[in-house]
């Protein structure tokens, strides 16, 4: 593949601390970054979708876990600051990075903006699943960061489930190409890290994100230079979801995994 004439990176995200940490890390290595930020899905929309898939009791149990895990917000904030400092990163918004705000990455307005920006690569992190129309509008590789090791920890809470299953050797993140599935695209790089005793479900994703900035940068450098080398992942493929409250409490009380 030939090197692209542009080196612009477009980051697609619904925002938050973890994506901001990644964006700031990317901005240190790429001078031309443009963020397209969509509005996060409402908690009600997510709840209804999960209820349709699992039933209302299970979906409400998942919501209960989310609420309960955030009760230790002060402790989690302290650990989050420690992680960011440890990796020499920043979670503060960077006013030098242009940001376009849209309702959804799957809206025609996003397709038109991508066409206008002509990126060398699109990088997605913490956003909704891209529609076939959005993927078709991309004139370049679309690369996703997933806070879990694919394919066994696809979906959500990959770090948590790796710990629960006694598989801490696979506590980490994956940078992969985006296809129509959920974290099913060909893999570019993986990154693994050991969680500390202070880490919980509230900080696992940030820890994995911070430890994976280098492989994300490398993947985008490969995309810009036309040197991507994707490979198909081996092993079983499992789509993960947040645990319901009773499962979270069980593993927390019996294994110390929160």
Checking if the pLDDT of 69 tops 90, the result is no
Residue 146 within a domain: yes
Tell me the C-alpha distance between 133 and 136, whole Å. 5
CATH no. for residue 123?
A: 3.40.50.12230
pLDDT, position 5:
52
| H or E segment to which residue 51 belongs | helix 43-54
Residue 242 within a domain: yes
Residue 1 within a domain: no
Instruction: Give the Cα-Cα-Cα angle 187, 191, 195 (nearest 5 degrees).
Output: 140
Tell me the C-alpha distance between 106 and 114, whole Å. 11
Residue 163 within a domain: yes
Q: Are 38 and 14 in contact (CB under 8 A)?
A: yes
Q: What percent of the chain has pLDDT over 90?
A: 92
Checking if the pLDDT of 4 tops 70, the result is no
Tell me the C-alpha distance between 85 and 254, whole Å. 31
- Domain of residue 177: give its range: 9-255
Q: What's the domain count of the chain?
A: 1
2 pLDDT band, cuts 50/70/90, is very low
Give the tens place of pLDDT for each residue, 84-114: 999 999 999 999 999 999 999 999 999 999 9
Angle between helices 56-69 and 245-255 (to 10 degrees): 50
pTM: 0.94
Tell me the C-alpha distance between 250 and 237, whole Å. 25
Q: Are 248 and 57 in contact (CB under 8 A)?
A: no
Residue 4 within a domain: no
From start to end of the chain, where are the E strands? Answer: 9-13, 33-38, 99-102, 121-125, 142-146, 154-155, 172-177, 187-192, 239-240
Residue 3 within a domain: no
Checking if the pLDDT of 73 tops 80, the result is no
Give the tens place of pLDDT for each residue, 186-240: 999 999 999 999 999 999 999 999 999 999 999 999 999 999 999 998 889 999 9
């Amino acid at each position: 593949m030939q090197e692209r004439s542009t080196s612009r990176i477009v980051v697609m995200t619904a925002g938050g601390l973890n994506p901001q940490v990644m964006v700031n890390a990317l901005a240190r290595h790429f001078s031309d970054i443009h963020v397209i930020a969509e509005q996060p899905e409402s908690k009600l929309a997510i709840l209804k979708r999960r209820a349709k898939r699992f039933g209302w009791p299970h979906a409400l149990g998942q919501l209960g876990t989310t609420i309960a895990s955030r009760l230790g917000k002060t402790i989690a904030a302290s650990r989050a600051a420690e992680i960011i400092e440890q990796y020499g990163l920043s979670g503060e918004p960077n006013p030098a990075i242009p940001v376009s705000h849209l309702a959804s990455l799957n809206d025609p307005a996003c397709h038109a903006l991508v066409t206008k920006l002509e990126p060398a690569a699109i990088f997605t992190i913490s956003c909704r699943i891209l529609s076939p129309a959005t993927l078709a509008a991309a004139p370049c590789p679309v690369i996703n960061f997933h806070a879990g090791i694919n394919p066994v920890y696809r979906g959500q809470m990959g770090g948590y489930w790796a710990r629960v299953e006694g598989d801490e050797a696979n506590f980490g993140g994956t940078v992969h190409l985006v296809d129509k599935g959920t974290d099913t695209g060909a893999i570019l790089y993986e990154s693994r890290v050991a969680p500390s005793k202070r880490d919980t479900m509230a900080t696992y994703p940030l820890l994995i994100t911070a430890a994976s900035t280098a492989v994300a940068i490398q993947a985008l450098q490969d995309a810009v230079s036309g040197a991507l080398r994707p490979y198909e992942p081996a092993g079983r493929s499992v789509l993960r979801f947040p645990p319901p409250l009773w499962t979270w409490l069980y593993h927390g009380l019996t294994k110390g995994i929160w």
